Copies of this chain bind each other. A is one copy, B any other.
Amino acid sequence: MSNQSFPTFTDISTLGEFGLIKELTKNNASKHHNTVKSIGDDAAVIGTDDEAMVISTDMLVEGIHFDLMYTPLKHLGYKSVVVNLSDIYAMNAVPTHITVSVAISSKYSLEAMQEFYDGIYTACKMYNIDLVGGDTTSSPKGMIISITAIGQAKKDKIVYRSGAKKGDILCVTGDLGAAYLGLQILEREKQVYLAHPGVQPELDKSQYLIERQLKPEAQRGAIEYFKREKIVPTSMIDVSDGLASELLHICNQSDVGAFIEEGKVPIHPDSELAALEFKLDPITCALHGGEDYELLFTIDEKDLEKIRFMPEVYIIGEITDKTDGIKLHTTGGNMHNITAQGWNHFAE
């Protein structure tokens, strides 16, 4: 009798994006001495001189990352660039160049593509970026966008996720949860429209939230402030998957714990109201919402005075010992463990 067993396959939806990346890159050894930082941060770092090159790439898929029913193509172009620049800023680097690849079905008109590129060029102008290459091809279904951003930084000023240490102050550059709530509103109005095509969508009073979703900005000002004030954060990451998920990245890679004061987490009044409407807890939207593209960073205590003068910054907590865990101090005086509930595109 044969004792042969059938191979078993692992469903990637059980791994999640980070688990999958970890599996696929576990044997990825660098061959070049100028590969300073490979996979595992907001961007890779390459360079032998004082000046290093920082590179990051993102792929956006229609039906997963955006819905053309409520996303104007110009906004989509703009946002596609901004989310990549955000990764470069999160390294404390200055983005300078991008490449843009896009696959579209042949049903798109030239004018539609011009709208999309109009958004790309507007972002390039706003953030002083050169578009230097790309690929334009067709897709059997849906639109796919892949952007690679390149930036520059002095090697000793680059900020990784791994440098936070006990006693460091935890800061964020702007309010959180708004982009997620903007998405909820757009989705709700889409459903209303699909059910009753004659009804006008109610979007006027949600302008702030919708703009945070459709036209986010990258935190160039923060990086410029750090340079001017000679501050180098000890760790930094951009908030694309939600505050909780990003804080876990910093804590895991820095081998530390942290706490966040619920009352200190900046939430816009419009977000508070919208959360109420959707019967959601505002802090949950801030912790797990994602797509805010603010910067979450830690600084050494000695830089606290300098940070107080930063035009847009909120001190939301502190880095602690690893054994203290990763906690939320609620306004009610309770302590909760913070766990990741960020996007898992592979879960259904």
Looking at A17, A30, A39, which has the most chain B CB atoms within 10 Å of its CB?
A: A39
- Which residues of A from 6 to 21 have beta carbons under 8 Å from B? 7, 9-13, 15, 17, 20-21
Pair B110/A10 contact, Cβ less than 8 Å: yes
In whole angstroms, what is the CA distance A136 to B37 when docked? 18
Which residues in B have their C-beta under 8 angstroms from that of A103?
A: 59, 61, 64, 144
Contact residues on A (Cβ < 8 Å of other chain), bracket: 35 or more
**Residues 28-54 of chain A, each 1 if its beta carbon lies under 8 Å from chain B, else 0:** 101110110111000110100000010
Decide if A141 is an interface residue (CB 8 Å cutoff): yes
User: 1/0 per position for A103-139, CB-CB distance to B under 8 A?
Assistant: 1101011111110010001001000111111111111
- Asked if residues B142 and A57 are in contact (CB atoms below 8 Å), the reply is no
Which one of B129, B137, B346 lies within 8 Å of A61 (CB-CB)? B137
The CA of A8 and the CA of B240, in the complex, are separated in Å by 39
Q: A17-B137, A28-B121 are in contact. List 12 more A-B contacts (CB 8 A).
A: A10-B110, A12-B108, A12-B109, A12-B110, A20-B136, A21-B136, A23-B110, A38-B133, A55-B150, A58-B101, A61-B103, A138-B346
Residues of A within 8 A of B (CB): 7, 9-13, 15, 17, 20-21, 23-25, 27-28, 30-32, 34-35, 37-39, 43-44, 46, 53, 55-59, 61-65, 96-97, 99, 101-104, 106, 108-114, 117, 121, 124, 128-142, 144, 146, 148, 150, 345-348
